[in-house]
């Protein structure tokens, strides 16, 4: 993507993010009561050894059709998958079992949209690179771009609470072990290096793109669902590739709200968007948007251009909230990464995001709020 006119691109980007859809029918956030996921018993576990190298991509041979054909989990399966481990910064590890209330497992049979076309060939950038590098203090430090953060393990994340960051589970755990650096995990906030930096041709409001730095905050504890730890990325594990980080102190930025993922057919233009720190653009925040192609109950498939490092980014949309009578941006998924699938001997790629289902919303919200009363409406 050409970057010779950053001001023009950012102006167009601002219009894209802030404009009200022209359709007379507003895209509406679904109104639904979410179930309750409550911790029941917590037990100590042996401290992990942190031997696994951090992985920035998830590999799998199970594509959309494979996931759709997977057995529907039972109520007891769901309780097992939503039980979780908590890793503390001092190396302690606990496992918590959960109870599920007010959820009908029959809803897992809900039909999902079908693919809109053939999957593209194996590559990370689909044709023309449609990513935008966000530059300038007025964009980087303002909502919604200010909610994007970087993990010290190399992934991205999104602020979803005063002290909470949503990211991908594989950024801290490879499915078998916690990765190196996950005990001393830090979260980086992109900030100007100095207040009165001189203006360059690649800057706005006097803050050059190359004069930004990360301010790091330590993570107090990390929650990872057992669905990721029990499974592998070849079957059910991919559905639970999410984790929540609690910081040691508040970050003092506006955070993104969490929302239950609507069907892709209900999204404005069927589009999703997310921002992260792709490895091929070090020190830059990279934004992208694209059309959602396919989905299962737990996963969303799309062809947004992305590189390793963007994994863990919060996938979000902007829709009309009928209760509050205003437009709201909410995180509806976590970008997991590139899923490589062998179809009849032909390697193909999907970009996969884990959808925030009602059960996942209830669990993550409880991790953030510490009670279920504030987590009944997604």
Render each residue's pLDDT in the chain as its tens digit; 378 residues. 434 345 445 544 544 554 444 445 788 888 878 999 999 999 999 999 887 887 776 766 677 777 777 788 899 999 999 999 999 999 999 999 999 999 888 777 654 544 443 333 334 554 556 677 777 676 778 899 999 999 999 999 999 999 999 999 999 999 889 999 999 999 999 887 665 444 443 433 444 545 678 999 999 999 999 999 976 555 557 899 999 999 999 998 999 999 999 998 898 888 899 999 988 888 889 998 888 888 889 999 888 888 889 999 999 999 999 888 999 999 999 999 877 665 566 666 778 899 999 999 999 999 999 999 999 887
Residue 4 falls inside a structural domain: no
- pTM, to two decimals: 0.85
170 is catalytic: yes
Query: Which CATH number do you get for residue 317?
Result: 2.40.10.10
Annotated catalytic residue: which of 170, 223, 251, 303? Answer: 170
Look at residue 48 and give its three-state secondary structure: coil
Residue 6 lies in a domain: no
Which of the following is catalytic: 60, 156, 311, 336? 311
Q: Per the domain annotation, does 280 fall within a domain?
A: yes
CA dist., res. 157 & res. 294, Å (int): 23
Q: Is residue 59 part of a domain?
A: yes
Q: Are 153 and 277 in contact (CB under 8 A)?
A: no
User: Which residue is catalytic, options 77, 129, 162, 235?
Assistant: 235
Question: In whole angstroms, how far apart are CA 19 and each of 130, 201, 260?
Answer: 20, 28, 23
Q: H or E stretch including 101? A: strand 93-101
Q: Is residue 160 part of a domain?
A: yes
List b or e across 45-79, with b for residues whose CB sees 16 or more CB atoms inside 10 angstroms: eeebebebebbbbbebebbbeebeeeeebeeeebb
Note whether residue 14 is domain-resident. Answer: no
Distance CA 141, CA 369 (A): 25
Domain count across the chain: 1
What is the domain range of residue 122?
Answer: 37-103+118-375
363 occurs within a structural domain: yes
Neighbours of 180 (CB within 10 A): 14
Determine, yes or no, domain membership for 360. yes
């Amino acid at each position: 993507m050409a970057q010779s006119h950053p001001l023009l691109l950012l102006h167009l980007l601002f219009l894209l993010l802030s404009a009200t859809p022209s359709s007379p029918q507003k895209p509406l956030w679904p109104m639904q009561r979410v179930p309750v996921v409550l911790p029941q018993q917590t037990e100590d576990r042996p401290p992990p050894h942190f031997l696994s190298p951090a992985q920035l991509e998830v590999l799998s041979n199970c594509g959309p059709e494979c996931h759709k054909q997977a057995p529907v989990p039972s109520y007891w399966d769901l309780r097992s998958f939503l039980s979780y481990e908590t890793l503390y910064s001092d190396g302690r590890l606990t496992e918590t079992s959960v109870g599920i209330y007010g959820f009908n497992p029959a809803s897992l049979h809900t039909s999902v949209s079908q693919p809109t076309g053939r999957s593209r060939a194996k590559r990370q950038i689909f044709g023309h690179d449609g990513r935008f590098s966000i530059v300038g203090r007025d964009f980087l430090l303002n909502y919604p771009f200010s909610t994007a953060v970087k993990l010290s393990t190399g992934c991205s994340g999104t602020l979803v609470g005063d002290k909470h960051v949503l990211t991908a589970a594989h950024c801290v755990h490879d499915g078998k072990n916690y990765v190196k650096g996950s005990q001393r995990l830090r979260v980086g906030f992109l900030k100007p290096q100095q207040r009165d930096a001189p203006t360059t041709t690649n800057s706005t409001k006097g803050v050059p793109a190359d004069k930004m730095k990360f301010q790091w905050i330590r993570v107090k504890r990390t929650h990872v669902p057992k669905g990721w730890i029990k499974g592998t990325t070849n079957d059910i594990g991919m559905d639970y590739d999410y984790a929540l980080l609690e910081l040691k102190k508040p970050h003092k930025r506006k955070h993104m709200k969490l929302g239950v993922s609507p069907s892709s057919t209900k999204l404005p233009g069927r589009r999703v968007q997310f921002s992260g720190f792709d490895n091929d653009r070090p020190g830059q925040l990279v934004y992208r948007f694209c059309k959602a192609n396919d989905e299962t109950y737990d996963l969303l498939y799309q062809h947004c251009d992305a590189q390793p490092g963007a994994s863990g980014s919060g996938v979000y949309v902007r829709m009309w909230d009928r209760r509050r009578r205003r437009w709201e941006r909410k995180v509806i998924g976590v970008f997991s990464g590139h899923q490589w699938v062998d179809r009849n001997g032909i390697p193909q790629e999907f970009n996969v995001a884990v959808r925030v289902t009602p059960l996942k919303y209830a669990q993550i919200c409880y991790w953030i709020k510490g009670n279920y009363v504030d987590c009944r409406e997604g």
